[in-house]
Amino acid sequence: MMSLPLIFLLIGCCFAAEKSASYNVDPSETSVSGISSGGYFATQVQVAFSALIIGAGIVAGGSYNCGGQMSYTSCMYTSFPPITESI
């Protein structure tokens, strides 16, 4: 039963790849933006793909590594995770 959604996903990806080739996009000028939970995601994408992303516009999002099993208060009101720690 899981194979049917996977097939639709793959078909959608094929159409998206075909269509995106027609846009005038310069991959070296790619940035990411997000508001609120999108800001959290934009932060993660910018860190994970820092070689490909030239910048990030983050509004009302959290800091890097401030998600998953980490509580809001431990990220926002303490120094954990340390902001000086190398990523």
Taking only the tens of pLDDT, the chain with its 87 residues reads 557 677 777 777 666 666 656 777 787 888 899 998 888 888 888 888 888 889 999 998 877 766 666 666 666 666 655 656 555
Give the model's pLDDT for residue 48.
84
pTM tops 0.75: no
Give the model's pLDDT for residue 44.
84
Encoded tokens for 82 = 């340390």
* 16: enclosing H helix or E strand: helix 3-20
Residue 27 CA to residue 29 CA, distance in Å, equals 5
Q: Which residues contact 68 (CB under 8 A, 6 or more apart)?
A: none
